[in-house]
Structure 1
Amino acid sequence: MYVLLAEDDRKLGKLISHMLKKEKHVVDWLTTGEDVYDYAVGTAYDLLILDWMMPQEDGVSICHRLRRDGYQGAILLLTARDALDDRVKGLDAGADDYIVKPFEFAELFARMRALTRRSQTPIQDDVIQLDNLVIRCTEHTIHRNGEEIQLTPREYQLFELLARNRGQIIRRDVILERIWGYDAEVTSNALDALVRLLRKKIDRPGERKLIQNVRGIGYKVEADYV
């Protein structure tokens, strides 16, 4: 799954993110509610995991806004509130499910699987195709002209991020946060170096150049879906 996690407790958020990645999920982690809405509507997430209590805007308010504006994706609330009225409030706001803190990760993963099964259609296509390049998201594999391209985990994460948002410019600061994390001390040069390595593997001589630099802003993938 491609998961957006919104959790302001940095210790808990780091742990949840780590455990989700161990289960082969791709995770974007935000620590405030300020940007959650924009991330949710601008990216094809399989699941939003929203903490009820966050700075700027709480998870229930975000959930209500998303549903009001027609958002159809799965939403799971994290909450320390286990009173019946609170559970009803969260579900009435549009959450598909909730889990009460503290929780066991086995239960979290089971609820995630249940949300996927209950969906009438797949939440996210397993395959992204850009011209003659095919990404199989569950397998984390990329083929171009039928030939598999071997990427490091970080290279794959960057290219999938760009491919899922094809045609949209992803800002440099957003890429740094999503690929290396909020607390990582990484220079912009590290991103440029990663892109250079990725281009050598993806954009080989004679192939259409998919990865484009938008000077001073960020990067994007520009290609036609087949």
Structure 2
Amino acid sequence: MNQEIKIALVEDDENLRFLVAERLQTEGYRVLEASNGDDAEKMIMDENPDIVLLDWMLPGKQGSEVCENIRKNGFDKLVIMMTAKAQDVDKIEAYNFGVSDYITKPYNMDVLVAMIDNKIKFSLNSDKPETYRFANMEHHPNTHLLIKDGKKIELTILENRILLYFLKNRNKVINREELMMEVWGYNADVNTRTLDMHIVRLRKKIEDNPDSPQYLQTVRGVGYKFSHD
């Protein structure tokens, strides 16, 4: 299935780029490469890849600028930011450059491949970028937008991950550990309070009355359930 799938790999570290490209090709993906922001923008707009793996620190242009520019030019597929520093993750969270998701370096190749496989599986099921509808809302995970009553609401990357997981598991009780694993991954040093805080913020964006939530319900002593037909 991976034969037709094009991944644009934008990374200025030649050795790392070689290793990642080789591994992705072994997995059957077609890899396009660029080592700086200007080449990357041109390549992405010309080739329209399925996924962009974009390094945060690039010569010339930052990855964030590249992402912003391709989004402005109408690129709406997945963009995964690769970042070496934890504090950059905060920046990716705080400002919306249009990044779909991120992975921190040094990353384990298996984790990177699993992340891509997982995303491809979901985005290939439809011709247009995946969209989830519930009630009067539409969720566009690639660009982490929520459209509610025709109004656009920005989600942070973590809110986006949480909502996406709920929408894929509607009406199922999900315990906090499972959700934390899904959202922050294996090596995450987060506690349940952090998760609950994100849930509270997400409720403010999707619920008409966040204090008595209609969709994102708490299941006492266990976790949460996204309730919707």
The two structures have a TM-score, normalised by structure 1, of 0.50
Match of 1:10 in 2: 14
Kindly indicate whether the alpha-carbon contact (under 8 Å) linking 2:92 and 2:99 is maintained by their aligned counterparts in 1: no
Match of 1:103 in 2: 107
Name the CA distance, whole Å, in 1 between partners of 2:114 and 2:128.
16
- The structure 2 residue matched to 1:37, chosen from 30, 38, 41, is 41
Name the CA distance, whole Å, in 2 between partners of 1:118 and 1:95.
17
- The structure 1 residue matched to 2:90, chosen from 71, 76, 85, is 85
Aligned CA RMSD, in angstroms, stands at 2.0
Cα deviation digits, residues 60-99 of structure 1 (max 9, x gap): 1110111122211111110012235223046x11111100
TM-aligned CA distance change 1:11 to 1:89, over 3 Å: farther
TM-aligned CA distance change 1:89 to 1:59, over 3 Å: farther
Secondary structure of the residue that 1:29 maps to in structure 2?
A: strand
Kindly indicate whether the alpha-carbon contact (under 8 Å) linking 1:60 and 1:93 is maintained by their aligned counterparts in 2: yes
Match of 1:154 in 2: none
Secondary structure of the residue that 2:86 maps to in structure 1?
A: coil
Secondary structure of the residue that 1:64 maps to in structure 2?
A: helix
Name the CA distance, whole Å, in 1 between partners of 2:61 and 2:92.
18
Name the CA distance, whole Å, in 2 between partners of 1:69 and 1:26.
23
* Structure in which a larger fraction of residues adopt helix: 2
Secondary structure of the residue that 2:37 maps to in structure 1?
A: coil
User: Does 2:24 correspond to 1:23?
Assistant: no
Larger relative contact order (C-alpha < 8 A, sep ≥ 6)? 1
User: Does 2:61 correspond to 1:57?
Assistant: yes
Q: Specify every segment of 5 or more residues in structure 1 that has no aligned partner in the other structure, as ranges.
A: 125-226
Amino acid across the alignment from 2:11:
E
**Offset, 1:100:** 0.1
**Offset, 1:44:** 2.8
Q: Specify every segment of 5 or more residues in structure 2 that has no aligned partner in the other structure, as ranges.
A: 130-229
Kindly indicate whether the alpha-carbon contact (under 8 Å) linking 1:4 and 1:29 is maintained by their aligned counterparts in 2: yes
User: Does 2:146 correspond to 1:114?
Assistant: no
**Offset, 1:122:** 4.2
Secondary structure of the residue that 1:75 maps to in structure 2?
A: strand
Name the CA distance, whole Å, in 2 between partners of 1:123 and 1:102.
32
Number of corresponding residues: 123
TM-aligned CA distance change 1:71 to 1:58, over 3 Å: same
Amino acid across the alignment from 1:24:
G
The two structures have a TM-score, normalised by structure 2, of 0.50
Cα deviation digits, residues 11-67 of structure 1 (max 9, x gap): 111111111111111111111112111111111311111100011112111101111
Kindly indicate whether the alpha-carbon contact (under 8 Å) linking 1:96 and 1:115 is maintained by their aligned counterparts in 2: no
Name the CA distance, whole Å, in 2 between partners of 1:53 and 1:17.
18
